[in-house]
Structure 1
Amino acid sequence: MSPALPYWRLSGFYFFYFSLLGATAPFLALYFDHLGFSAARIGELVAIPMLMRCVAPNLWGWLGDYTGRRLAIVRFGAVCTLLCFAGIFISQSYAWLALIMALHAFFWHAVLPQFEVITLAHLRERATRYSEIRLWGSIGFIVAVVGLGELFERISLDAFPWALVLIMAGIVISSCWVPNAEPQMRPSDPALGGFLKQLRRPGILAFYCSVGLMQLSNGPYYTFLTLHLEALGYARGLIGQLWALGVVAEIVLFLFMARLLARYSLRSVLLASFLITALRWLLLGNLADHLAVLLFAQLMHAATFGSFHAAAIHFVQRSFADRQQGQGQALYATLAGIGGALGALYSGYSWNSLGPAWTFAIASLVALAAAVITAIRMPEERP
């Protein structure tokens, strides 16, 4: 008999963790713009936390697999994230902010890959319920993005660091509420070999390459969408609601994800996600001044993040043995970090020189490249 699922404890952690993403994704670039930095400097500062995902998840993932103390790593990472980010109150110079972005991100990126393993360990054979827990992260994102959008409409963006510190404190508290669980060790197959040998199995490297490209294509969206919409005349409160709309679509998708995965293969779900993403970037780059088109493009976030992320988590779980789960999730986070950092950097340099339309067009081509790799290199699996 399966042990009782600590649904609300797990969901509470996702709520606060993705509330932090809801506070940073729409408003971090806006805050740096408020401090007077140029588009290129903003792109660099936003890229730094993403670059830390190239290093931190693999280090913490190996440590989690080696020691088995995943929850201790989650709690330690949460506390250090809060302490490091609090240094933002000391100075707002470019060099100091770059250091703060790097330090807090090193520990922040230790947290989620290990917590994903803990969640799946609690779920055991109920892994299809992952989306039901993860959707509370999307709800946290909505609460943060709408609440802070209204807050910054009324008061100065100087309140931004204080809001982040409060959310980080929530992550620390919720991590202490979660009970521990380790992956149930299935009988090992000697033919699987170690982590590197498993990476060479058909379709695995193609999947990770597509992950990196997908996150690269998200660069303009997460770095400059808020500034893009402000330049088109949208109010900050409405911009926050538009961000939230995308996450509402993501939540609805999560509710139906178990049925989709039962009917369609992971390859099919990923391929559809990439193609919809490519269309979305073209709409945002060229027709965002039309509110109806903008609303439709935000609803497409259900594929750009929702179906893509849920399918990716399931793919990693299926593809690696129990003792390599942490490293598999960490590599997923790492490739996402590399892609996201490159996306933030190229969009920072191209935003003023090429303009929003061409910047988003490049992102669309990158998403199409991910679709081609998935179609050609990933073998079809039965649902």
Structure 2
Amino acid sequence: MPRPSPSLSQRVAGLFACHFFGFGLFLPFIPVVLEFQGISPAEIGFVLGVGTILRIAASPLLANLSDRTGQRRLSILIYSLIGAASVALFALPGGLLVAGAAVISYMVFKAPVLPLSDAYALDVARNTGTDYARMRLWGSAGFVAANLAGGALAAQATSWIILALIALASLATGFVAMSMPPQRREEPGDEQGGETPTAPFKSVWFWPVLAVLGLFQASHAAFYGFGTLYWQAKGVPDFAIGSLWAVGVVAEIALFTIAGKLAHRFDPPVFLLVAGIAAVFRWSLFPFADTLAAMAALQLLHAFTFGAAHLGAVAILARVIPSKWAGTGQGLLGTSIGIQMAVGLSVCGALYDVDPDMPFYLMAGVSVFGAMAMLALTPLVRRCMDTALQAAG
């Protein structure tokens, strides 16, 4: 196995940092920018809803197109350039029509960038021994930096700076991708001139496993959708709410820092089982946390409910899906998360109107189901990973 290249691992880390910096500005602050442009909340909701639906569909399709052409880096560049051009549409007059087209186009063409980046990073980890989690943690750091920058710029007079930074982050993502070397995808059969293994997308077992992997992230629906509103209703100051969100991301980064060592002792299903158990505790106790210390303590569990779940999911897909189709696999994971998250947000919204505590109890129940489903599927997942490993050997 080649020795890891510090320069390559740093560039992959930079790829994640650039992408998530733009995403960390777009996700929380694009509704604010649209509102400053005179677009009503109902229209904003419609635009983001359409964009979300199209993003969910576009992620695996555009990632699959990249896998078929074998041009992963070039695809990231093209999608990122289109993303930046989409943001530039805000400079044109046209109100809702132009702004809506800009937002939806950005969401669609940026959708495959993360799965393709994950696929490239996993190839680097597989071929050089570089720790995937240590590269990926810079995405989380970029997201936090964007949140802080966006919060300081979230005023009408400076909203154009937010748009400019989103576009620049998209451009930087594409150019960092092209600065990296083509990553050799070592598949069984390469040396003998035989056929590479097929992806498991047509296998019956793959789809329930994919659904369960997505379920762990979708269990955050109540928190992502209503966590801030819930804390505000409890009288938590806005600056403290921002700090609570930061605690969760810092905990996530801490796990990513040591995840490589943990991966030598525990296989991916264990990461997911730990994530499910942590989520049961986190969401069950969420309504009972009535002090900042208690809230912060529960936020530390984000390291497991998000971080461990993410690492376990991408590792399972990396082991059972050939490298040639890795972008498609990671894109399908994003679609699984997106569909279940959308359903979760809708249900949690209805429950929040009835009782603000109910969405979190529902997420605790979802987490129980996810942990039990993962426990039941673990023998199957391990057999599939072992089979893929033997085929690769």
SS at match of 2:105: helix
Query: In the TM superposition, what is the alpha-carbon distance from 1:250 to its structure 2 partner?
Result: 0.5
Inter-partner Cα distance in structure 1 for 2:67 and 2:372: 33
Answer yes or no: is the 8 Å Cα contact 1:120–1:183 preserved in 2.
no
Inter-partner Cα distance in structure 1 for 2:237 and 2:31: 16
Inter-partner Cα distance in structure 1 for 2:196 and 2:173: 40
Query: In the TM superposition, what is the alpha-carbon distance from 1:105 to its structure 2 partner?
Result: 0.9
Partner of residue 109 from structure 1, selected from 108, 111, 131: 111
Match of 2:57 in 1: 55
One-letter identity of the residue aligned with 1:292? A
Query: In the TM superposition, what is the alpha-carbon distance from 1:270 to its structure 2 partner?
Result: 0.3
Instruction: Answer with 1 or 2: which has the greater Rg.
Output: 2
Match of 1:73 in 2: 75
- Map Cα deviations across residues 326-364 of structure 1 (whole Å, 9 max, x no partner): 22111111111212222233333433x223211222222
Q: How many percent of aligned residue pairs carry the same amino acid?
A: 27
Match of 1:13 in 2: 15
Figure out how many residues of one structure are paired with residues of the other and give that number.
Answer: 373
Match of 1:136 in 2: 138
Inter-partner Cα distance in structure 2 for 1:57 and 1:228: 31
Distance 1:342 1:175, change over 3 A: same
Match of 2:218 in 1: 216
Distance 1:222 1:298, change over 3 A: same
Query: In the TM superposition, what is the alpha-carbon distance from 1:159 to its structure 2 partner?
Result: 4.2
Inter-partner Cα distance in structure 1 for 2:67 and 2:145: 34
- Map Cα deviations across residues 63-122 of structure 1 (whole Å, 9 max, x no partner): 1111111111111111222222344565665x7765544321110102111112222233
Distance 1:158 1:225, change over 3 A: farther
Match of 1:378 in 2: 378
Answer yes or no: is the 8 Å Cα contact 2:283–2:363 preserved in 1.
yes
Answer yes or no: is the 8 Å Cα contact 1:26–1:225 preserved in 2.
no
Match of 2:188 in 1: 187
Query: In the TM superposition, what is the alpha-carbon distance from 1:315 to its structure 2 partner?
Result: 1.0
Answer yes or no: is the 8 Å Cα contact 1:117–1:326 preserved in 2.
yes
Match of 1:196 in 2: 201
Computed over aligned residues only, the root mean square deviation of the Cα atoms, in angstroms, reads 3.1
Inter-partner Cα distance in structure 2 for 1:243 and 1:361: 20
Stretch deviating more after TM superposition (137-146 or 231-240):
231-240
Match of 1:166 in 2: 165
Answer yes or no: is the 8 Å Cα contact 1:275–1:368 preserved in 2.
yes
Distance 1:47 1:357, change over 3 A: farther
Answer yes or no: is the 8 Å Cα contact 2:187–2:196 preserved in 1.
no
Answer yes or no: is the 8 Å Cα contact 1:45–1:101 preserved in 2.
yes
Match of 1:312 in 2: 313
Answer yes or no: is the 8 Å Cα contact 2:216–2:309 preserved in 1.
no
Answer yes or no: is the 8 Å Cα contact 2:79–2:109 preserved in 1.
yes
Inter-partner Cα distance in structure 2 for 1:229 and 1:30: 20
**Higher RCO (CA-CA < 8 Å; seq separation 6+):** 1
SS at match of 1:378: helix
One-letter identity of the residue aligned with 1:356? P
Distance 1:84 1:220, change over 3 A: farther
Answer yes or no: is the 8 Å Cα contact 2:34–2:99 preserved in 1.
no
- Map Cα deviations across residues 117-175 of structure 1 (whole Å, 9 max, x no partner): 222233333456011111111111221223433x16xx636745642440331231243
Answer yes or no: is the 8 Å Cα contact 1:216–1:340 preserved in 2.
yes
Query: In the TM superposition, what is the alpha-carbon distance from 1:33 to its structure 2 partner?
Result: 8.3
Query: In the TM superposition, what is the alpha-carbon distance from 1:249 to its structure 2 partner?
Result: 0.3
One-letter identity of the residue aligned with 1:350? L
So what's the TM-score if we normalise by structure 2? 0.83
- Map Cα deviations across residues 175-200 of structure 1 (whole Å, 9 max, x no partner): 31331323423214869544434x43
- Map Cα deviations across residues 247-281 of structure 1 (whole Å, 9 max, x no partner): 11001101111122111121111011022123222
Structure 1: gaps of 5 or more residues = none
Inter-partner Cα distance in structure 1 for 2:29 and 2:222: 14
Match of 1:323 in 2: 324
Match of 1:246 in 2: 248
Answer yes or no: is the 8 Å Cα contact 1:217–1:367 preserved in 2.
yes
Answer yes or no: is the 8 Å Cα contact 2:4–2:130 preserved in 1.
no
Answer yes or no: is the 8 Å Cα contact 1:283–1:293 preserved in 2.
no
Aligned pair 1:348/2:349, yes or no? yes
Distance 1:219 1:239, change over 3 A: same
Structure 2: gaps of 5 or more residues = 387-393
Q: How does 1:113-132 map to 2 (within 5 A)?
A: 113-127=115-129, 129-132=131-134
Distance 1:321 1:36, change over 3 A: closer
Answer yes or no: is the 8 Å Cα contact 2:188–2:197 preserved in 1.
no
SS at match of 1:186: coil
Inter-partner Cα distance in structure 2 for 1:367 and 1:157: 40
Aligned pair 1:287/2:292, yes or no? no
Inter-partner Cα distance in structure 2 for 1:97 and 1:306: 34
Match of 1:4 in 2: 5
One-letter identity of the residue aligned with 2:363? A
Aligned pair 1:360/2:360, yes or no? yes
SS at match of 1:233: coil
Answer yes or no: is the 8 Å Cα contact 2:216–2:276 preserved in 1.
yes
SS at match of 2:180: coil
Inter-partner Cα distance in structure 2 for 1:44 and 1:365: 30
Answer yes or no: is the 8 Å Cα contact 2:87–2:166 preserved in 1.
no
Query: In the TM superposition, what is the alpha-carbon distance from 1:62 to its structure 2 partner?
Result: 1.5
Query: In the TM superposition, what is the alpha-carbon distance from 1:59 to its structure 2 partner?
Result: 1.2
Inter-partner Cα distance in structure 2 for 1:263 and 1:256: 12
